[in-house]
Amino acid sequence: MAISRYLDSRKNIAGSACGLAGLVLTFTGAAGPYWPVVVAGLYGAGALIAPPDRPPLPDFPDPSAQLDAVRADFEKLGNYLAEVDLPPASAGRLTELTDLLAALLAPGWVAEVLAQDPEGVHTLSRAVRQDIPEAVDSFVRTRWWTRMAPGSEPPERHLERQLTLLQEEAERLATALRETEARRQESHTRYLEDRGRAH
């Protein structure tokens, strides 16, 4: 396997080309009786100066494919949340958050802009796959203990605070995407103005 890779490598191809040049010198009589050394030397020189072969880059999914995976996980999250009994205030906050995430993940031009923002995709992925499930599950578990030992701080306060922070993070992402589109529009305006002045 290693031999076949070397035979197809740039180093072997460059070395072979230089070796052929050495054979040409031999046939013209320029190499003299030392032609084997000349051919081998030229082959070695060609192999040394040839750039090394680069291994192929890993085939990671593009951002659009990553968004498709987040959408599928968001649907799973929705099925999980539908089975959880939350206090009205927390349920309302959670609905606001999931509605915003659904709008950001919906196929269309917003998702196309989002796909160009790896940090934004990561933020959404983390919210869907980690932050929201952890916040809700922690509330469910803590609420059980609170019922066993009343008098401690209500767990819904932490849940509402966590959901508020996640809502603010999602709103910052939406604002950043909107500003990206605004800059794109402004750039197009400047381009048209510059083109008009050039005529």
pLDDT in tens, 54-89: 677 677 666 677 888 999 999 999 999 999 999 999
Give how many domains the chain has, as a whole number: 2
Residue 78 lies in a domain: yes
Residue 57 lies in a domain: no
Identify whether residues 156 and 69 lie together within a single domain. yes
Q: Could you tell me the residue range of the domain that residue 30 belongs to?
A: 2-49
Identify whether residues 43 and 99 lie together within a single domain. no
Q: pLDDT digits over 36-54, tens only?
A: 766 677 677 766 666 666 6
Identify whether residues 44 and 74 lie together within a single domain. no
Identify whether residues 164 and 88 lie together within a single domain. yes
CB atoms within 10 A of CB 146: 16
Low-confidence ranges of the chain (pLDDT < 70): 1-13, 15, 18-19, 21-32, 34-35, 37-39, 42, 46-54, 57, 60-63, 147-152, 199
Identify whether residues 111 and 167 lie together within a single domain. yes
Identify whether residues 81 and 42 lie together within a single domain. no
Identify whether residues 125 and 83 lie together within a single domain. yes
Identify whether residues 72 and 163 lie together within a single domain. yes
Q: What are 117's two structure tokens?
A: 């923002």
Identify whether residues 143 and 69 lie together within a single domain. yes
Identify whether residues 94 and 13 lie together within a single domain. no
Distance of CA 17 to the CA centre of its chain: 41
Identify whether residues 91 and 134 lie together within a single domain. yes
Amino acid at position 130, single letter: Q
Rounded Cα distance between 72 and 85, Å, is 23
Question: Is 46 within 8 Å of 14 (Cβ atoms)?
Answer: yes
Q: What is the pTM of this model?
A: 0.65
Q: In the prediction, which pLDDT does 44 show?
A: 73
Identify whether residues 79 and 32 lie together within a single domain. no
Residue 67 lies in a domain: yes
